[in-house]
Amino acid sequence: MKKTGNGLPETCVDNLVRIRRGEVAYERVKGIDVSLIDQPTSEILEDASSDAERQIEIFEPRVVVDSIECTGEESAGGNFNYDISIHRKETSDVE
């Protein structure tokens, strides 16, 4: 968690892809699938991208995912990073 700005949708998306599934009490389905961690990067990039997109759609309804690219190097020991492009959903203040 960051010192400030934790309520911003962009920060929440960043936090979601840093959480591992099962890590959050009472929200055991929140987070990235742990079976993807420490596997050969070339085998999990597509699965990791779709898993991250699914998590964002479920747990951060204030944004729309434009694109997600999962990147990593085999020499990095199965570690991977996300390049996520999102935009905020339009909200109406009409009552």
CATH code of the domain covering residue 83: 3.10.450.40
Residue 47, domain member (yes or no): yes
Residue 35, domain member (yes or no): yes
Give the other-Cβ count within 10 Å of 16's Cβ.
19
Residue 45, domain member (yes or no): yes
Residue 2, domain member (yes or no): no
**CA–CA distance, 34 with 76 (Å, rounded to integer):** 17
Residue 71 bridge partners (DSSP) = 81
Q: State which amino acid sits at residue 6.
A: N
Residue 1, domain member (yes or no): no
pLDDT of 11: 92
Residue 95, domain member (yes or no): no
Please state the separation of Cα 85 from the chain's center in Å. Answer: 11
Structural domain including 45 reads 9-88
At residue 12, the 3 state secondary structure works out as helix
pLDDT tens, the chain, 95 aa long: 566 667 899 999 999 999 999 999 999 999 999 888 777 777 888 899 999 999 999 999 999 999 999 887 665 555 678 999 999 998 765 55
pTM equals 0.81
Residue 67, domain member (yes or no): yes
Given the structure tokens 């909200």, which residue do they identify?
91
Residue 4, domain member (yes or no): no
